[in-house]
């Protein structure tokens, strides 16, 4: 599945990948070599820990490479704000509680609820995508059906 990201997030991911390949991977190899020099590998906890850390690093590298290869960079200037889309900010009102909140719809990599950023693949994100101002999104949550009215859409 493609990940929608801003150019800034894409560049951060590329920088992280370069750091892992250029700095972290050689450091992991050195740690394994140093642990190997300390004797019997069967009872060498330092060697086991270094091998496990290397495995986790390689898994993260592979994950990042996958995300980067399929990432779709979204330009905020090209977004149509007549409907809720990725990177739009949407103000919604819970029809039951009358509470109003604003979220920015983002890709999974950028989602951060504390910062008001929700993933387009989350239940609320999916339910809001494509809605226009004044429309009501019915979202199935674990607690039941929640209705949100779209009050405003912006960048």
Output the domain CATH number for residue 122. 3.10.50.30
Rounded CA gap, 119 and 104, in Å?
A: 8
Tally of domains in the chain: 2
66 and 85 part of one domain: no
What's the whole-model pTM score? 0.62
85 and 57 part of one domain: no
pLDDT in tens, 58-80: 999 999 998 888 888 877 777 77
Rounded CA gap, 127 and 103, in Å?
A: 13
Range of the domain at 18: 4-73
82 and 23 part of one domain: no
**What is the model's pLDDT at position 90?**
95
Q: Which of 46, 73, 100 is the last residue of a domain?
A: 73
Kindly tell me the burial class for residue 47, based on how many C-beta atoms sit within 10 Å of its own C-beta (0-12, 13-18, 19 or more).
Answer: buried
**What is the model's pLDDT at position 41?**
65
45 and 109 part of one domain: no
Rounded CA gap, 135 and 144, in Å?
A: 19
């Amino acid at each position: 599945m493609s990940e929608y990201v801003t150019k800034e997030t894409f560049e951060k991911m590329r920088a992280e990948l370069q750091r892992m390949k250029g700095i972290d991977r050689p450091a992991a190899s050195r740690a394994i070599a140093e642990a190997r020099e300390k004797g019997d590998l069967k009872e060498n906890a330092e060697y086991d820990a270094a091998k496990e850390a290397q495995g986790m690093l390689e898994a993260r590298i592979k994950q990042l490479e996958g995300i980067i290869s399929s990432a779709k960079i979204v330009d905020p200037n090209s977004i149509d704000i007549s409907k809720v889309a990725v990177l739009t900010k949407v103000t919604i009102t819970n029809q039951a509680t009358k509470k109003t909140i604003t979220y920015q719809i983002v890709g999974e990599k950028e989602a951060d609820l504390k910062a008001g950023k929700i993933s387009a693949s989350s239940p609320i994100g999916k339910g809001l995508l494509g809605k226009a101002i004044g429309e009501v999104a019915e979202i199935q949550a674990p607690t039941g059906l929640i209705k949100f009215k779209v009050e405003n859409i912006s960048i």
